[in-house]
Structure 1
């Protein structure tokens, strides 16, 4: 990391939900956050569900989100690395971000090391011992044949259908009731503890739960959930030594 720089993390913006009009103020707020953090960012991690729905046809992507996409392009063009992890709402993301914005896209967890601190980073959906209904549904959604079938729907039909299901069906959305369940019932906490049985990590950073959480797993390992940009407007920041959750206020 460069001196006096920071690494920023954010997740679960769900732009477009429940409608484009209602999500627009949240989009503006997120762009303001990007303007702030770009001043000292060494890197920015976006951990999924940036959009409430995203599907890349061969020559078409969902319209909208121009301010966010433009700001990401501006920041990336300035030389600041941006890393994107797909969530359960934008899991059909292809190479658009890579080609148009020069932003790498990850479809599973990845390990990073910054200033000697090890991170395991991802969206967090489908991890841990539970959530079997969603895990089965995800296998269907990510199957190449399923994507091929969906691609044959006209975008005006496919996008509206996906947006409807995303808002109405909790199984498809993957979002449970946002309450802290205790360490024994938090599947991502259990997942992190199992990972620590075979390898040490300083920080596990995930989204998906829509609940800001900081949990000490061991004396040297911490689990962080980033919350969301629907009700909490929280984000993570690593200063080279410590990791903190913060709330963005404008």
Structure 2
């Protein structure tokens, strides 16, 4: 039924009261009401399809994605709210749905570890691509690689909400990885806390002063935010980012050996 809607002519809904009634019925699962609403908003939906079609190999797939966005808009409409129509959010929901799908397509072409690193850098740069390109070399990614990946997302019209969402997932995964390397992090279990502190004391005890300070800054020990290798090098007066990286890697290896990890 809905696949054939794209061959229909737009049919605007005459009154606010009529659209409100249709929206309530559509939210309850009335297909006829939903079909009428789609016809009314065909111009906006077609515009979303035109905007994103270069990023999709299958036009029918894109149309389906845009329709999913429209149905999300219908369900998001508040019957008790001040707006009797759904016009204010239709385009937003349609383009957000297409953006998500396009973003998934870009992500599928980028190696997982590279993607995680890119999203982590973008998060640290507060979403600023220029700042991200500056930070990238200190976070084990070439500036050109960072910029190329960012352009792939932008060419797919992937907006900030998508990258923010997946960047936050990357942050949580990054934090989990940091906790695995640095087991002295916060815990609510007092017995585990004692064990962790003993492990931490053992691990840190094998490091020299420079190694311990690099790890403190790299893993955010003491409650500070973790710093990238480039900033660590600058703060400690090391010769380069690579020097800080080598010190950190050697220190982690020594700590793992000390605790039998």
> What TM-score, normalized by structure 2, do the two folds share?
0.26
Structure with greater proportional strand content: 1
Larger Rg belongs to: 2
Structure with greater proportional helix content: 2
Name which structure has the greater RCO, CA cutoff 8 Å, separation 6+: 1
